[in-house]
Structure 1
Amino acid sequence: MLIPLRPGELQRLIPAVATGNQFRFALGKPQQVLQRLMIAAIGGVITLLISQSQMASRWGPVWLVIGVVFLLYVLWGPILEAGQRNATLRRYPAAALFEGEVADVQTRERVENSHEQADSRGNLELVENRRTWMLLELEDEDGYLGRVSFPMEKKHQSIRAGAVVRCLVLSERKDFSRVGALSDAWLPGLRLWVGEYPFLLRPAFEELCQLRLARR
């Protein structure tokens, strides 16, 4: 079942500025945080040194500002990344609340990253770090809708076919004849959120579901 959103509801559910959950997601793994710290430190130190040498010229204050911006990269980098991801769904002209069920549950192995290392004989071998992902096929009385995938955790083992699921459906067409994207999803029976990225303001979405679905 699809219930079209009213004007402004999509923007309230998916903010332009990153939420706390989105910031933590965009911050990434410790390795990514370390990379941002190195970029911030190196870029900040270099530009601040340049600003000191150029302080007597009109470009000195400009280099100083650039240096401060570099030093704050650890903060504004994830905020910018999350804002860009939010914009990918906010741009759709049509959005609807979906309630259906999980038609099928699958798991697949995905390569997270790979690197070469020497074995006991000194030969280089490719080492792959894999992670299990869960894929949920969604459908309602009108048929198949789409798929939500996410890294699998222990709490996801309780998900079964037939579970009620709710999410947002985005489309370029007002009649939703072609689905452009799906948001992260809410399984109310399990009180569980799933998805690769936390697009939605979750308390607001749960409240919207209660208001709109109670009027069916």
Structure 2
Amino acid sequence: MLVPLTKEKLNQLIPVVATGSQYIYVWGKIQDFLRRLIFSIVGIVIISFPLGFIGHGAQLVTGLMSGFYWLWGPAVIATLKNRRYRRYRYGGFWQGQVLDVFVSEELIGKEENVDQRGQLVIIENRERCLNLEVGDKTGFFTPVRARLRRQHRVIRPGDIAQMILFSRQPDLSEIEQVSDVYLPQHRLWVGDYPCLQRDVFNQISQSFRRKRTPKRRSAPPPPRSDGRSRYSSKPSKYK
């Protein structure tokens, strides 16, 4: 099921600037940190040379920015990711189910080393990933991939899956982007990037569940032993 959302609600779901959880996610592993650190060192070395067409003040500011790229780089990357989601004018809250779950090994990088014989050896760095296939009765289907975590072991086909779908079409006939997936039965988020404000999403999810849950009719009260109705002060004619 897909419920359209207003542009105002979509903007509430996708933050303008990076949040703390997004910053931590983009920070990455030690290899990612080392790459940013090397970039910062190289930038400082380049800026340290006297450049006649750049003033000393501008050169100092540029040097500081390059030197601290390892720190502010993830915030910029996460903010740019958010901007790609916010550019969609239309979107909706979707609920379906997990159709399939499987684990795969994905190539995340290669390293070149020289062995004892002096020969070049290429080492492939692989990472185990969780793959979900989610869909609904309308035929909508999309895969979701994320780094494998220990808590993912509880996920099974048939689990309820919720996410936000993004489109450029007012009727949401063409889905161009999806958010990370929320599994309410396990309170788990699965996805490549935590793009959503999760407190806002939880409010939408809870509102959706309240509308979908039928109200229970209360059973009629038992008759009074004195023959009087509970809803009237007069004696009941049924005895």
Verify same fold: TM over 0.5.
yes
Determine if contact 1:101/1:164 at 8 Å carries over to the other structure.
yes
1:119 CA drift (Å)? 4.6
**Equivalent of 1:95 in 84, 91, 98:** 91
Task: Return the index of the structure with the highest Cα Rg.
Answer: 2
Correspondence list, 1:27-66, <5 A:
27-44=27-44, 46-47=46-47, 50=50, 59-66=55-62
Secondary structure of the corresponding residue to residue 180 of structure 1: strand
Matching residue of 2:217: none
Matching residue of 2:137: 141
Determine if contact 1:148/1:182 at 8 Å carries over to the other structure.
no
Matching residue of 2:215: none
Matching residue of 1:183: 179
Matching residue of 1:198: 194
Determine if contact 2:7/2:90 at 8 Å carries over to the other structure.
no
Using a 3 Å threshold, how does the CA distance of structure 1 residues 168 and 70 change in structure 2: closer, same or farther? same
Name the CA distance, whole Å, in 1 between partners of 2:48 and 2:117. 47
Using a 3 Å threshold, how does the CA distance of structure 1 residues 43 and 121 change in structure 2: closer, same or farther? closer
Secondary structure of the corresponding residue to residue 105 of structure 2: strand
Secondary structure of the corresponding residue to residue 141 of structure 1: coil
1:157 CA drift (Å)? 1.4
Name the CA distance, whole Å, in 2 between partners of 1:173 and 1:134. 30
> Deviations along 1:137-159, whole A, 9 cap, x unmatched?
11122123311111212211111
1:181 CA drift (Å)? 1.1
Unaligned runs of 5+ in 1: none
Determine if contact 1:109/1:130 at 8 Å carries over to the other structure.
yes
Determine if contact 1:103/1:137 at 8 Å carries over to the other structure.
yes
**Equivalent of 1:131 in 127, 142, 146:** 127
- RMSD of aligned residue pairs (Cα, Å): 2.2
Name the CA distance, whole Å, in 2 between partners of 1:202 and 1:124. 47
Secondary structure of the corresponding residue to residue 175 of structure 2: coil
Identity %: 36
Using a 3 Å threshold, how does the CA distance of structure 1 residues 70 and 105 change in structure 2: closer, same or farther? same
Unaligned runs of 5+ in 2: 213-239
Name the CA distance, whole Å, in 2 between partners of 1:40 and 1:129. 24
Name the CA distance, whole Å, in 1 between partners of 2:118 and 2:49. 44
Using a 3 Å threshold, how does the CA distance of structure 1 residues 123 and 70 change in structure 2: closer, same or farther? closer
Secondary structure of the corresponding residue to residue 193 of structure 2: coil
1:211 aligns with 2:207: yes
Secondary structure of the corresponding residue to residue 207 of structure 1: helix
Using a 3 Å threshold, how does the CA distance of structure 1 residues 211 and 113 change in structure 2: closer, same or farther? same
TM normalised by structure 1 equals 0.88
Using a 3 Å threshold, how does the CA distance of structure 1 residues 125 and 39 change in structure 2: closer, same or farther? closer
The number of aligned residues is: 212
Matching residue of 2:231: none
Name the CA distance, whole Å, in 1 between partners of 2:123 and 2:40. 30
